[in-house]
């Protein structure tokens, strides 16, 4: 059958031909080449660029919120370790922080990070170590009250040792949870990244004592070869004075 003008001949190998291949340059590690090739062929990386998000991680919080609906108009949100800002971008739109949704309550998005973060329209960003004494009081002062959502996509620096990295991120998540207990409004939501690895039992127990429901989720945007998952804890229950003693 004759081909139409401009029509390409099919190779018969389908979508494989569309993938970008990266040669290992002199001086570059093979692992770096694999990472670069994965980035170039990652549909979420391409979508993030096309839709103006600062990273593919934005789609993780989008998918989690699509399922659990915690980023509602009017909500006050704290994003711990917010750099580079993709989660804040999503939160700004969903809680109506810019007041663009007529007839909907206007929310607040507060991002904190150890490093300075490029400004995001609709988000208030602060350079702060959330582990320092008084950080919770500073956050509540900036918010003008308690938070409805505390979320964290933080990960400890990689050591190259899987079990060590697992323990570090679980410890970081536990610290984020303790911070959330200090700033969350009753009924609030806590969302955080963890790595599967067997040391999460204490974290799970901690959250189940303080929230009505605790779910463990791996959103579609999370790479299948990654051990990361997310805890979504809803229905925060503050300690009573007797429990706090």
Binding region for S-adenosyl-L-methionine: 85, 87, 113, 129, 153
What does the alpha-carbon distance between residue 230 and residue 226 come to, in Å, rounded to a whole number? 12
Partner residues linked to 152 by β-bridges: 80, 192
Q: Hey, how many other C-beta atoms are within 10 angstroms of the C-beta on 118?
A: 9
Annotate 210-222 with DSSP letters as a single string: HEEEEEEE--TTS
Contact between 229 and 215 (Cβ < 8 Å)? no
193 included as an active-site residue: yes
The single residue of 23, 60, 193, 218 carrying the catalytic annotation is 193
Nearest-CA neighbor of 109 among 76, 142, 61, 81? 76
Contact between 163 and 197 (Cβ < 8 Å)? yes
* Binding-site annotation: residue ranges: 85, 87, 113, 129, 153
Active-site residue numbers? 193
């Amino acid at each position: 059958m004759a081909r139409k003008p401009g029509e390409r001949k099919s190779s018969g190998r389908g979508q494989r031909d569309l993938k970008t291949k990266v040669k290992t340059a002199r001086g570059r590690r093979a692992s770096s080449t694999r990472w670069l090739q994965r980035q170039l062929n990652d549909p979420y990386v391409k979508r993030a660029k096309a839709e103006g998000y600062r990273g593919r991680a934005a789609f993780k919080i989008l998918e989690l919120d699509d399922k659990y609906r915690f980023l509602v108009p009017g909500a006050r949100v704290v994003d711990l370790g917010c750099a580079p800002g993709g989660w804040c971008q999503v939160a700004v739109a969903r809680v109506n922080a810019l007041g663009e949704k007529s007839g909907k309550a206007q929310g607040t998005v507060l991002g904190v990070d150890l490093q300075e973060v490029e400004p995001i329209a609709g988000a208030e960003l602060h350079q702060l170590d959330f582990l320092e004494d008084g950080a919770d009081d500073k956050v509540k002062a900036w918010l003008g009250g308690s938070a409805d959502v505390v979320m964290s996509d933080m990960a400890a620096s990689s050591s190259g040792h899987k079990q060590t990295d697992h323990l570090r991120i679980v410890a970081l998540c536990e610290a984020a949870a303790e911070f959330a207990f200090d700033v969350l409004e009753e009924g609030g939501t806590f969302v955080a990244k963890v790595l599967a690895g067997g040391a999460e039992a204490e974290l799970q127990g901690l959250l189940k004592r303080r929230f009505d429901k605790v779910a463990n989720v791996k959103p579609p945007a999370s790479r299948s070869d990654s051990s990361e998952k997310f805890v979504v804890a809803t229905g925060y229950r503050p300690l009573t004075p007797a429990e706090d003693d």
